[in-house]
A and B are shown apart, each in its own frame.
Chain A
């Protein structure tokens, strides 16, 4: 076998080794960044405090913060259409309209969503006035309900402090600590 072939095989093998290493790293790359945060253009209805920093759940969140809906793509499509693009119950979402997280959107799927300060919550509020597990928003019989999880400062729908699961129609706002969350769907 010629010297050239041997050299090519030798270097080719080293290249193959690095292809494995680099493709492993490429697989991991996405893992380094946790949740994805997309900056959006200012929406019409929400009052936006200038330059409000957007803190988001821990980037090391073990699993996706929004439960096992597996429909992230669909949720994204729903947001792309903006405020007027509201579809059926399926593309409901939670929007934070006041508080440190103003402008944050959490696409809702089929499963319940927990709001609070604990890192395990779906929507992690950076808000001293909310409890670690403050409120739960869940779907039942085609409608969304909000329920207080024994929080210190209470959960308010409109101006009423709630003490039982309360239906949450789209557009109604919920106050949790200093944050106000609105269901849009």
Chain B
């Protein structure tokens, strides 16, 4: 004996606003504390800064109320908090550089990029009314992604910085096209896998209790593997290569539920990376740094030494459990403290407690993405949301793992925290897409299905119907072309219901 009661879906916009207040307090509080820590006074423009940040966040909140009222209430606050913490840390490192006459105005530019990125996210939310529209661009996305990945190899615009050729310069503005390529790839993989997953899930031979896929279905994974190895060889960037391949393997697993794909993928990547490590000095150096970071000769090696990594570790160690406090550490001693090593900088000033809170925010963000993937009703949306949520978590794992010496250091950016316009733009677009998909997932019952033309309408649509005798057979009253309740106009009915048992 039991009563089944569904939860009433709350749109959650009010909750979101409350959490946003907290998130903004964290961002602005960090800014004020940086001022206190470095120069013993709250920065004079803290009110203006706070108002600007709040305006951005509230603007996006209003766009959500307008265009995606059922979007997940936690995604936006978590993102705003992460972005605010990143801004404060970049401002703090700028301050330290100024003391050493190496001022570079990173903070101002990052603030500008934040504003642009939030604006872009709002545009995505307004323009993209339904994520299923993206499925039409499956193969366009593939071409775009390959183009973006190849862009840094172009002779004039591509540029090699610190050994990795992942930058493109237009005029004076540099960007990392790989950050946008990951978005296009997620769209392509989702569109491709949703049509081909049934084949890819077919069982082949069994080996050591693992159900292997059929050999002839290995084509797609081989192609993506070749692409990621090409990135590794031609652009000498382990991070992007790992990102692409990880994304594909994860989405393949989401689509087919076969662990064997993950095992095969890991083996292929580890094999490829081992070969690359022996063949290319640049990649091999990363492995040396990882395995023998504390050896004096590796530490002192002129290019590609472990100095950065070890200083980062010492920074985090001096932060301890509760950190030195905003503005009281020396994160600027680590090269690239504002981008690749911002996690180490945060670990130093906020300590393990603060760093774990930040990682929890990422976990919450990823969980919400995955939840949207579970909730949304079309296969394409499921794969896209799952893939995008995974990319955030994966990037986070690769960066934090690299900085803490769990895996070899790679050149990926920490989403929302690290300095870098491309990364910020791409990740805010990811957040906008996740919000869009979660709106579709949480919207109360667009009815499990629409009504067939020969079905009667539910009576809340019929007003002032003349009384009928009780035993009359119901007749359909509406004219054709009206949309019955729950069945919204839908130009692309892709798997509205998903797989039925």
Contact = CB atoms under 8 A, between A and B. Distances in A.
Contacts of A4: none
A165 B29 contact: no
Contacts of B364: 21, 24-25, 28
A118 B501 contact: yes
Contacts of B442: 63
B458 A110 contact: yes
B468 interface: yes
Contacts of B374: 60, 62
A62 B376 contact: yes
Interface residues of B, number: 77
Contacts, number: 218
Contacts of B449: 114, 120
Interface stretch (B53-61, B349-357, B409-417): B349-357
Contacts of A104: 2-4
A76 to B, nearest CB: 6
B74 A6 contact: no
B323 A10 contact: yes
Contacts of A114: 448-449
Max chain A CB contacts within 10 Å: which of B445, B470, B498?
B445
Contacts of B443: 63
A48 B1 CA distance: 8
A143 B470 contact: yes
A64 to B, nearest CB: 3
Interface string B31-59: 00100110010000000000000000000
A151 to B, nearest CB: 14
Interface in B347-404: 350-351, 353-354, 357-358, 360-361, 364, 367-368, 371, 374-377
Contacts of B74: 24, 27-28
Interface residues of A, number: 80
Nearest to A75: B5
A72 interface: yes
A68 B448 CA distance: 11
Nearest to A145: B474
B361 A112 contact: no
B19 interface: yes
Contact of A105 (B3, B12, B457): B3
Per CB-CB distance, the 9 closest pairs between chain A and chain B, nearest first, are A64-B6, A103-B1, A120-B448, A10-B325, A17-B357, A62-B375, A68-B444, A54-B2, A21-B360
Interface of A: 1, 6-7, 9-11, 13-14, 16-21, 23-25, 27-28, 30-31, 34-43, 46, 48, 54, 56-57, 60-68, 70, 72-73, 75-76, 79, 102-107, 110-112, 114, 117-122, 132, 136, 138-143, 145, 147, 164-165, 167
Given A6-B37, A37-B2, A66-B6, 20 more contacts: A7-B325, A14-B322, A14-B323, A20-B22, A23-B19, A23-B22, A24-B19, A24-B364, A27-B15, A27-B74, A28-B364, A36-B6, A39-B1, A54-B1, A63-B375, A67-B447, A68-B486, A70-B444, A121-B448, A139-B459
